[in-house]
Structure 1
Amino acid sequence: MPLENNIMKSWCALAFLLLAYFCHGTLSCPALCKCYLRRAEVVCNEVPLTEYPSEGLPKNTTMLTIQSTNITSISEQHVKATPLLQELHLYSNQLQSLSSHLLRGVPHVSTLDLTGNKLSDLPADVFSHATLRNLVLKNNLIEKADAEWLPDNSTLTWLDLSGNRLTKIPAALLQKLPHLETLDLSTNHLQKISANSLDPLTKLERLNLQNNNLDTLDASILQCTHNLTYLFLSQNKLNKLPQNLFQELTQLKILRLDDNHLRYIPAGLLDPLDSLDEDGLDLTANPWLCDGKVEYLWRWLQKNKKKVFLPEAITCAGPQSLVGRSVMSLTESELQ
């Protein structure tokens, strides 16, 4: 009997403690969400939420994921319910607006992912007040990027603005990003990258500009990006490139120039790229004109075939007698 009494007392004590924890919110969890207490994570995935689930969120939450819901807005008041938050993932919701000073109550947030929402105009200081390192705004409706979104000397190392409606990227915004390592501006409507606008990005390693409307690049645009290792320029309208464009890119491993309007490249353009990976350079799907001006490309391909992706697919679009021929297969007499 004493043993049974002790067991009963233990169970009663445990039940009392659990009840106390729930009443004080330590083990609470919002309806429709799942809470993983040991790793301080909350997930609300594909549930009929219409409002940010501030009520019931454990205060010690460090990671919150809300995905594929009907939430349309989020405010500073909502977010500050979890003051220890470090990662906030809000993929594929219906977000149309964010409040100014959104992150003031969550100063430890380092990752904010807003992929696949309906965001267009964002207020000033929206991403200030937190030590953000990763900011993802991919696949929204943003037409204008604003320098006022971020504080001076931002801690961002990763910025993804791909899949929006940007026609330009302001130099004032890039000046605030001295620690940036990855910049993704692909699948926008960019027509030009202003000269010297990338100069502050001295730590940049990956630059993605593919699927825009760029027809040329300023000769000095990459002069300060000495650490660049990945450069994606595919699916633009590039028809000419400055001779010294890649002069400072001695660390470059991957260069994608496929699916542009290139007929020639200037002599010496590719010479600095000694660090290219095997298959690291893609020049396919360009209308190469195979006359005397293609000789530099022809000679470079002969020496660097292993660095080129599908070298035999780099073909002539003219003159008529050489249409469809691989540039690599040309003879010196044909070049003349």
Structure 2
Amino acid sequence: MALLGHILPPLPPLLLLLLLPYSHAAPCHPQPNATHFVCTEPTLSTFPSGLPPTTVAISVEFTAVTTISPDALAGLPHLQELHLSSNRLAVLPEALLQPVPTLRILDLTDNLLPDLPAGIFHHSIHLRHLVLQGNLLQALQPAWFVHLTQLHWLNLAGNALLEVPPAAFHPLRSLHSLDLAHNRLQHLSADTFVGLQMLERLDLEGNQLRALPPALFMPTPALHLLFLQSNALEVLPDGIFSPLLHLRVLDLAHNHLRALQLPPRSPGPPLSLDISGNPWACECSLLALLQDAAPQLIAARDTRCASPAQHRGQEVAAVSRAGDEGCQHRGDKQSPLDH
């Protein structure tokens, strides 16, 4: 009887946990009536279901999600933001965005998408920001952009795009920023940017462009920022930047340029200009242009003359400031250096 009345000592906490019934809770379980859903669980392999109709923003990022069903966003009439970056998505269903016409922001950065269905954005008439950076896209489909008339920001950087179909961006009349950096573009047609009259920022860094059409920037008079560095440009057509009266930043670094073209000088702060890493010919035309335009040279120490021999290796800015006696005595080459 004494044994029956004996009180056993308490079990250690770790042993107690091991004896409890095991129940596996799904990671990132949606909360009722929530407006924002965030999940960054690396082990998540299936896009969450059961999201409440009050949801306005979804962030499922840095997970192992590989696919998403066509009805994954059904019943979310107020959804405005969808962030799906850094997952393993290789395909998207064409009907995915059909239930969420209120969507404003879509971020698909760093997935494995080689293509998108032609009609995937046909119901996304209110989309403002579209980020497709860091995927495997090799071609653009003009059908993607037909209904994106309110799009402000389009990021296609870090893909494998070989070309831009003529007038593909034409419907994007509200676009302010276009990023095509670090693709494999070798040429652009003259009508590549037709319709982009509100474009303020254009990034073409890190492509394989060897030449540009003379009228390429005619449709984009509102450009403020233009990035053309790290291409293979050898010559700039006369007057190519003439339409860009509002340009504030121009990056031409690390090309193969020997002569320079600049936009007209305009009131306001000087043009921020990076022309480093090019084999400049420090002749009268270049020196006069730099004195006349008076830009703010970025990376001036890496902006050096490749020719003529007497200036080889010298900083372009220093040569421009010092002037060239040969230029000053040429009556047929009058320039601001003469004053």
Classify the TM-score, shorter chain: 0.7 to 0.9
2:306 to 317, 327, 330: 317
Q: How many angstroms apart in 2 are the aligned matches of 1:82 and 1:272?
A: 50
Q: How many angstroms apart in 2 are the aligned matches of 1:187 and 1:134?
A: 19
CA RMSD, 1 decimal: 2.2
| Structure 2 equivalent of residue 143 of structure 1 | 138
TM value normalised by structure 1: 0.83
Paired amino acid for 1:114 = L
Residues 1:185 and 2:180 aligned together: yes
Residues 1:168 and 2:163 aligned together: yes
Residues 1:205 and 2:197 aligned together: no
CA-CA distance at 1:84 after TM superposition:
1.5
Aligned pairs for 1:54-65 (under 5 A) are 54=49, 56-65=50-59
Q: How many angstroms apart in 2 are the aligned matches of 1:213 and 1:34?
A: 46
Q: How many angstroms apart in 1 are the aligned matches of 2:119 and 2:268?
A: 40
| Structure 1 equivalent of residue 94 of structure 2 | 100
Aligned pairs for 1:220-259 (under 5 A) are 220-259=215-254
Contact 1:34-1:42 within 8 A present in 2 as well: no
Identity among equivalent positions (%) equals 38
Contact 2:276-2:299 within 8 A present in 1 as well: yes
CA-CA distance at 1:321 after TM superposition:
3.9
Q: How many angstroms apart in 1 are the aligned matches of 2:307 and 2:264?
A: 28
Q: How many angstroms apart in 2 are the aligned matches of 1:198 and 1:122?
A: 22
1:288 to 280, 286, 307: 280
Q: CA separation of 1:62/1:241 partners in 2, compared to 1, >3 Å: closer, same or farther? A: same
Q: CA separation of 1:312/1:306 partners in 2, compared to 1, >3 Å: closer, same or farther? A: farther
The range that moved more, 298-307 or 81-90, is 298-307
Q: How many angstroms apart in 2 are the aligned matches of 1:326 and 1:145?
A: 42
Residues 1:111 and 2:105 aligned together: yes
Aligned pairs for 1:255-334 (under 5 A) are 255-265=250-260, 269-274=261-266, 277-278=269-270, 280-290=272-282, 294-305=283-294, 307-330=296-319, 331-333=323-325
Q: CA separation of 1:289/1:226 partners in 2, compared to 1, >3 Å: closer, same or farther? A: same
Contact 1:289-1:316 within 8 A present in 2 as well: yes
| Structure 2 equivalent of residue 66 of structure 1 | 60
> What's the CA shift string for 1:64-90, capped at 9, x where partnerless?
001111111223301224222100000
Paired amino acid for 1:327 = V
CA-CA distance at 1:275 after TM superposition:
5.4
Contact 1:278-1:308 within 8 A present in 2 as well: no
CA-CA distance at 1:303 after TM superposition:
4.4
Q: How many angstroms apart in 1 are the aligned matches of 2:265 and 2:277?
A: 21
Contact 1:76-1:105 within 8 A present in 2 as well: no
Q: How many angstroms apart in 1 are the aligned matches of 2:130 and 2:214?
A: 29
Q: Which runs of 5+ in 1 are unaligned?
A: 1-29
Q: How many angstroms apart in 1 are the aligned matches of 2:263 and 2:34?
A: 50
Structure number with larger C-alpha Rg? 2
Q: How many angstroms apart in 2 are the aligned matches of 1:257 and 1:36?
A: 50
Q: How many angstroms apart in 1 are the aligned matches of 2:302 and 2:88?
A: 43
Paired amino acid for 2:196 = L
Name the one with the larger helix percent.
1
> Helix, strand or coil: the match of 1:171?
coil
Aligned pairs for 1:85-96 (under 5 A) are 85-96=79-90
Paired amino acid for 1:285 = G
Contact 1:216-1:241 within 8 A present in 2 as well: yes
> What's the CA shift string for 1:200-224, capped at 9, x where partnerless?
1111111000100011111101012
Contact 1:252-1:275 within 8 A present in 2 as well: no
> Helix, strand or coil: the match of 2:168?
helix
The range that moved more, 294-303 or 251-260, is 294-303
Q: How many angstroms apart in 2 are the aligned matches of 1:64 and 1:151?
A: 25
Paired amino acid for 1:201 = L
| Structure 2 equivalent of residue 128 of structure 1 | 122
Paired amino acid for 2:317 = M
Q: CA separation of 1:74/1:301 partners in 2, compared to 1, >3 Å: closer, same or farther? A: same
Contact 1:222-1:248 within 8 A present in 2 as well: yes
Paired amino acid for 2:140 = A
TM value normalised by structure 2: 0.82
